[in-house]
A and B are shown apart, each in its own frame.
Chain A
Amino acid sequence: MKVRNALLAGARGLWLAVFGLVTSILLFVLTVLSICFIVLGVGLVTTPVAVRAVRAYADTRRGQAEAWAGVRIPTPYHPAPPAPRAGIVGQVEQCVALLKDKATWRDLQWLLMDMTVGTVLALLPAALLLYLVWGPVLALGVWKPIVRADGTFWFTFVPVTDQFTANLAAATGVGFGIVGLLVNPYLMRGHALLAAQLLRPTRERELALRVDRLTESRHDAVDSSAAELRRIERDLHDGAQARLVAMGMSLGTIEALIEKDPAQAKRLLAAARADSAEALTELRDLVRGIHPPVLAERGLGDAVRALALRMPLPVEVDVELAGRAEAPVESAAYFAVSEVLTNAAKHSGARRVWVDVHHADGSLRIAVTDNGRGGAPRPGTGGGTGLLGIERRLGAFDGVLAVSSPEGGPTMVTMEIPCVLG
C-alpha cells in the first residue's frame, strides 16, 4: 500500500509538474496580456475568457488536491451576475467585477508560484523514484561510456569515475528511492497545502461567504417557520376549535331539551362526547406534528424507534447516542428522518429500511438506507421538494444532506448536523 501510494504520488507529481508548468505559464501569460490590453479594448473581450479559464483550471486543481492529498480547498469566487448585459457595457461590467474580485489576483499569484516552487515540489517525488532506477542502471556499466566521453560524471553529489564510485552512486540512488517511498505522499500533501495558501478564500472572503450562507438559511428558516405557524393556525381553526364550538352548541341545546325530551338530549350528549373525542384526536395529531411526545420524553433515539414502529414497512433502527442534542436540533433531525422514511415508504418500493443514528466528530450523523428501486431526485433538481425542505431545515443548523440514489437502488440519504450532546 505504502509503495503503491509512493509510486502514485510520483506519477501524479510528474504529471502535475509537466502539465502544470505548461498550463500555468500559458494561462498566466494570456491573462496578464489580456489585462494589459484592456486599455486597447481587445482585453475587454479576452479578459473574462482568460479569467474563466484560470478559474476552471484552479477548480480542477482544487479537486485534485482533495482527491490526491486530502486537502480541501473551498472556492473563493464571487458569484457571477445571473445575466450579464450584452455589448460593450456588459463586457466592461464583467471585467470590472472580475478584476475587483481579490480571488482573481490571488489566482494569478498562484499561477506564478505553481510554475516555480510548485513545479519543483511536484517534480521531487518523481525524481526521487527515478534515482532509484538510475543509480543501479549506472552501476551496471552505463557509467563507462559517459565517463569516457565527458570525464567525471556527477550523480547528484557523488562524482562517478570508476566502478567503486558507480556502486556508491547506485547506493545513493537506492537511498533516494527509499526516502521517496517514505516522503512522497507528504510531498504531494505539501504541494497541495502550498496551493491552498493562495487558492482558498481569504479570511475576509470566508467570512463573507459564511454570512451569505447564513442569510440564506435564515431566510429559509423564517419562511418555513412562518408556513408552519400558518398551518397550525389553520388546523386549530378548522379542526379542534370548530369541534369545541359544535360541542358548546350541543350542550346548549341539551340544556334546553333535558327536561322536555330526555331521549333527544341523550342522543345529543353522545354526539357531544364523540365531538370531544374527535377534538382530542386532532389536537393530538397537531401536537405530534409540532413536537412529537416521545421526542420530548425520550429524545431522538427512541423517537426514531417509535417512528419506525408506525411505518408500514419494516424499519431497522440503530442508535448510538451518548446524550441528547439541543431540542431544536433533535426536532430538525427527527422531522428529517420522518420525511425520508415517508418518501421511502411511498416511492421507493423498498421492502426494508435501515436507519443509523450516531454522533461522531462533533456531528450528529444519520443514514437512512432502503433496498428500493432508487432514482430519487436530488434536492433542488425539481420534483425533490421534500428533500429540498429537509435540506433547508438542516441548513438552519449548518447541517447538510446528501442523497445517493442510482437507478435500480439502493437509496441512501445521509444527514450531518454539527452539534454537541448534553
Chain B
Amino acid sequence: MRVVLAEDLFLLRDGLVRLLEAYDFEIAAAVESGPELTRALAELRPDVAVVDVRLPPSFTDEGLQCALAARRATPGLPVLVLSQHVEQLYARELLADGSGGVGYLLKDRVFDADQFVDAVRRVAGGGTAMDPQVISQLLSRRERDRPMARLTPREREVMELMAQGRSNAAIADRLQVTERAVAKHTSNIFAKLGLPPSDDDNRRVLAVLAYLDRGGEG
C-alpha cells in the first residue's frame, strides 16, 4: 500500500515513516509543506495520504486545505488527517462530500501503533476513522437532539464505535456481543436516523455525517 506523508516536524515525520514501513506500507513520499503535498498527491496518486493539519509555509490549516482540494480533484482519495487538536468543524468539512475514505485523528493516537495502523488501513479501504474525542463531543451534547434521544444506550455505544469507523466485527468484539446483534443495532440506528437501505459501507459514513450535521443545527 503506497502512502504519501505530510508532516513538518522532522522527528514525527521520521517516526511515522518508520512505523508505517514496519507495518509493510510503502512510503511513496514524505513531504514537509503544503505545496509539496499538493504536487505529491497529484503526481503519485497514493493509496492513502497521511496529512498534518498545520503545514508550512502558512502554518495555518494548509494541510487540511490541500487534502480537501486533492479530494475535490480526485473524489474518494483516501486521506487521514492528523492534528494536535480535533475540532468538529474540520471533521465535518472532511466528511462533507459523503464519499468516505477520510480520517481525522489526534496526533497522540500514533502512540498506539496497532490502532493507528488499523485506522490508516480503514481509511485506505474507503472507511472512516474519526477520533473518539470528536465523537464523544458530539454524543455528550446530543441530549436535546430528538433522533439521537431515540437511540437506546446500547445503540449509542454502537453508534460511537461505528462513527470511529469500526467494522461490525470489531464492534462486536469490543462490546462482547455477537456480530448479529451488532448488525441488528446498526440497522436500527440507520432506521432511526432515516437512512434508507443501500450500500452498507456508505450508510455508515452517512450515519456519521447525519450526526455531524445535526451538530450544525446547534
Contact B137 A310 (CB under 8 A): yes
Q: Complex Cα distance A57/B140, Å?
A: 58
Residue from B54, B84, B89 in contact with A306 in the complex, judged by beta carbons closer than 8 Å: B89
Q: Report if A85 contacts B (CB, 8 A).
A: no
Write the nearest CB–CB distance from A210 to chain B, whole angstroms.
36
Q: Mark A residues whose CB is within 8 Å of B.
A: 273, 276-277, 280, 284, 287-288, 293-294, 296-298, 302, 305-306, 308-315
Closest 6 pairs (CB-CB, A-B)? A314-B218, A297-B61, A297-B60, A306-B89, A309-B88, A293-B85
Indicate if the CB atoms of B141 and A311 lie closer than 8 Å: yes
- B53 & A297 in contact (Cβ 8 Å cutoff): yes
Task: Say yes or no: A314-B217 contact (C-beta < 8 A), given A277-B111, A296-B60.
Answer: yes
- A276:B144 contact, CB within 8 angstroms: no
With contacts A312-B141, A313-B218 taken as known, whether A277 is within 8 angstroms of B108 at the C-beta atoms is yes
- Subset of 14 A-B contacts with CB under 8 Å: A287-B85, A288-B85, A293-B85, A294-B89, A296-B60, A305-B89, A306-B88, A309-B88, A309-B89, A309-B216, A309-B218, A310-B88, A314-B217, A315-B218
Complex Cα–Cα for A288 and B83 (A): 14
Supplied contacts A287-B85, A297-B54, A310-B141, 13 more A-B pairs, CB within 8 Å = A276-B108, A280-B108, A284-B84, A284-B85, A293-B84, A298-B60, A306-B87, A309-B87, A309-B88, A309-B218, A310-B137, A311-B141, A314-B217
* Contact residues, B8-30 vs A (CB, 8 A): none
Closest residue to A298 on the B side, CB-wise? B61
Set of chain A residues within 8 Å of B147, measured between Cβ atoms: none
The answer to whether B218 touches A308 (Cβ under 8 A) is yes
State the CA gap A276–B112 with chains docked (Å).
12
Please indicate the chain A residues that have their CB under 8 angstroms from the CB of B215 in the complex.
309
- B144 touching A314 by the CB < 8 A rule? yes
A8 to B111, CA, bound (A): 76
- Nearest CB to that of A309 among chain B residues? B88
Contacts of A315 in B (CB 8 A): 218
Q: Once the chains bind, are A293 and B87 in contact (CB under 8 Å)?
A: yes
Select the residue from A293, A294, A297, A315 with max chain B CB neighbours within 10 A.
Answer: A297
A348 to chain B, nearest CB (A): 15
Asked whether B217 lies within 8 Å of A302 as measured between CB atoms, the reply is: no
Q: Which of A273, A297, A305 contacts B111 (CB 8 A)?
A: A273
Tell me the minimal C-beta distance from B200 to chain A in angstroms.
28
Shortest CB–CB separation between residue B40 and chain A, in angstroms? 22
Q: Find chain B residues with CB under 8 A from A297 CB.
A: 53-54, 60-61
User: Closest Cβ of chain B: how far from A176's Cβ, in Å?
Assistant: 62
B56 to chain A, nearest CB (A): 13
A302 to B65, CA, bound (A): 14
B35 to chain A, nearest CB (A): 18
In the complex the two chains form, what is the Cα distance from A288 to B144 in whole Å?
Answer: 26
Residues of chain B lying within 8 A (CB to CB) of residue A280: 108
> Chain B residues near A309 (CB, 8 Å)?
87-89, 137, 215-216, 218
Contacts of B111 in A (CB 8 A): 273, 276-277
Residues of B within 8 A of A273 (CB): 111
Q: Mark B71-101, 1 if CB is under 8 A from A, else 0.
A: 0000000000000110111000000000000
Min CB gap B210→A, angstroms: 15
- Complex Cα distance A287/B54, Å? 15
A244 to chain B, nearest CB (A): 14
The residue of chain A having its C-beta at the shortest distance from the C-beta of B111 within the complex is: A273
Residues of chain A within 8 A (CB-CB) of B108 are: 276-277, 280
* Interchain CA distance A298-B90 in the complex, whole Å: 11
Closest A-chain residue to B137, C-beta based?
Answer: A310
Contacts of B137 in A (CB 8 A): 309-310
Question: Complex formed: what's the CA distance from A310 to B138 in Å?
Answer: 8
| B218 proximity list for chain A (CB < 8 A) | 308-309, 311, 313-315
Set of chain B residues within 8 Å of A311, measured between Cβ atoms:
141, 218
A341 CB → nearest B CB, Å: 12
